[in-house]
Structures are given as C-alpha cells and as structure tokens.
Structure 1
Amino acid sequence: MGVSTSALKWQGWLVGLVTLAGLLVFAPLGLYVWASAGGGGRQEAAPPPAVEYVRVTGCRVDPAGRRITATVEATGRAEGAGAYVVTVEFRDRAAAEPGGRAAQSLVKIPGVAPGATEYAEVPGPVWPPSTTPWCGVAAADFTAAKQVK
C-alpha cells in the first residue's frame, strides 16, 4: 500500500500550521523574558557601592589606655548629600582568618555634601601590647538626604 500525494500534502500543511502556532505562542513569551532580563532598552547604571567612597586613613593605639582608634574618611557622592554608616573592623593582621571573628565598631558620618570630604574617629577595643593593629572598612551604607522643596 502506498501513501497518496494528497495525504502527504495535508500532513505538510498540518506541520506548517503547528509550527506557525508554536511561534505565535512562544515568540512573545521569549521576547518578554529577554526584555525583562535587561536585553531590551537602555539600562541605567547602578550607583557604585558606598564602600568605594569610604576608607580608613589612620589606625593608632593610645599608649596610656591601649584603646585603638581608627580615622575614617568619607567622600561625597555625585547624586547628592547624605550620611554614611560605616562598620570598621579591627584585627591583628590584614588578612582575615577563615571562621575568625574581629572586633567591629559603627560610626555615622552625617551631612556629606557632593565633592566634600568628612572625617570621623572610631574607637575600638582595648588592644593587647606588642600587637600591631589593622583597621579597615568592613561595610558601609549611604542614605541620601531628603530634598526640601
């Protein structure tokens, strides 16, 4: 028994219609996924993290009380004035120990204007004698000042 040519034509049309229906259903879905993933349109760049605007400029131990103090510098951001909350870490070496814990202190640096530099002193723990301290920024957050109109 053979297959007639009219049956093959009908099967060809059926395959073509199913393919076209699949494209009509899945093409918009694919475009939606592509656009929501950032492929469609121009995306604005996120501002750099606050840690890039903050650094420790000094780390000293008071000889009398053996308390460590870090000097923190915060530079204003282009998007406007605001305040930084900085977590300063105090360790006995620059490289953190895996699973180790370090002393930390928080400091708030308010009213940092764009382009300006503000400083703060951050007291730390009492430091053991004959140990050289390391002070560094563990984390920083920036909160923009509210604009009054």
Structure 2
Amino acid sequence: MSGLKWQGWLVGLVVLAGLLVFAPLGLYVWASGEPGAAPPRAAVEDVRVTGCRIDPASRRVVATVQAAGRPQGLGAYVVTVEFRERADAVPGDRAAQALVRLPGVAPAAVEHAEAVGPVWPPSTPPWCGVAAAEFRPTPG
C-alpha cells in the first residue's frame, strides 16, 4: 500500500513541475498577441521609385517616389532615396542619397513626391532606388 502512496505523490509532483514549466510559456504566447496575427510589414514595402530622370535645367537627378497608405490609418513616410550609376551596388562605394517626406498619407491612398539628388554627369544614365523608409502614424 505504501508503494501506491509514493506513486500518487510522484504523479502529483510531475504534474506540478509541468505546470511550472509550461504555464509561463502559455502565458507568453497568449499575451504576445492574436494567434496568427502577422507582424507589421516594413515601410520599405509601401514605397517605390516610379521615375528617375535628369532635370535639363539644373542637371540634377530627380526621383519620383510613390507611397501607398496603410490600413492602420493616416501617417507620414520618410524615404531615403539613393542615386547611383548602376543598379548593382559596388562594395565600398558611397552612393548619393536624399530624404523625401510624404506627410498625410491616408489609408488606401497613393501619394507622390520628388527627391532631388546631386548634379549628374552628362551621358551617364542614373539609377534611383529606395534605400530605406520609415512610417509614423499621425496621432489623433
């Protein structure tokens, strides 16, 4: 009879140890958000360069940037545009960059802005691309 008593205690201790190990893990998963909720997408996925040209008067490169609104609400984008001679980045080379701000982008809206780059050498076609982007929701 005393063997059964020890087995009961052993089962109880194993169950208690399991609760101590797995309960915090379950609480962490439960508190981390909705199951299956996707992490917010990167702002760089919402923006793109739709045009890259040399302004004939100033000889500066001008990139047209497009930003799509997010379903979360009104917000502003700050986009870093890069200007290079080739689409492939050359290791060690520093590309010219410019910041462009797109304020008040509404959900489901598409806004455009222009980033002005450096004076560009004649007969060299420029490449313009998005180097980085940041989205900040508008409070309110």
TM-score bracket, normalised by the shorter chain, equals 0.7 to 0.9
In structure 1, what is the equivalent of residue 85 of structure 2? 92
1:5 corresponds to = none
- Counterparts in 2 of 1:54 and 1:30: CA distance versus 1, 3 Å: same
**1-structure distance, mates of 2:76, 2:49:** 17
SS at structure 1 position matched to 2:22: helix
Determine the C-alpha separation between the residues in 2 that align with 1:40 and 1:52. Answer: 23
- Alignment match of 1:140 (pick from 119, 130, 133): 133
Out of 98, 119, 125, the residue aligned to residue 126 of structure 1 is: 119
Over 3 Å counting, the alpha-carbon distance change for 1:131 and 1:47 in structure 2 is: same
Residue of structure 1 in register with 2:20 after alignment: 28
Q: How does 1:111-122 map to 2 (within 5 A)?
A: 111-122=104-115
Contact 1:57 1:72 in 2 (8 A): yes
Give the Cα–Cα distance (whole angstroms) in 2 for the partners of residues 83 and 72 of structure 1: 13
Structure 2 residues without counterparts, runs of 5 or longer: none
Q: Mapping of 1:34-49 within 5 angstroms? A: 35-36=27-28, 42-49=35-42
**Over residues 88-129 of structure 1, what are the superposed CA-to-partner deviations in whole Å (9 max), with x where a residue is unaligned?**
011111111223321111111011111111111110011122
Label 1:13 to 1:98 Cα distance change in 2 as closer, same or farther (>3 A): farther
Calculate the TM-score normalised by the size of structure 2: 0.80
Q: Which structure has the larger Rg?
A: 1
Q: Distance in 2 between matches of 1:64 and 1:100?
A: 28
Aligned-residue RMSD, C-alpha: 2.7
In structure 2, distance between residues paired with 1:80 and 1:41: 20
Q: Which secondary structure state, in structure 2, belongs to the residue aligned with residue 110 of structure 1?
A: strand
- Rounded to whole Å, the distance in 1 between the matches of 2:5 and 2:118 is 81
2:63 is aligned with 1:79: no
Q: Deviations over 1:25-44 (max 9, x none)?
A: 35422342355257996253
> Offset at 1:141?
0.9
Greater Cα shift, 99-108 or 81-90: 99-108
Q: Is the 8 A contact 1:34 1:40 kept in 2?
A: no
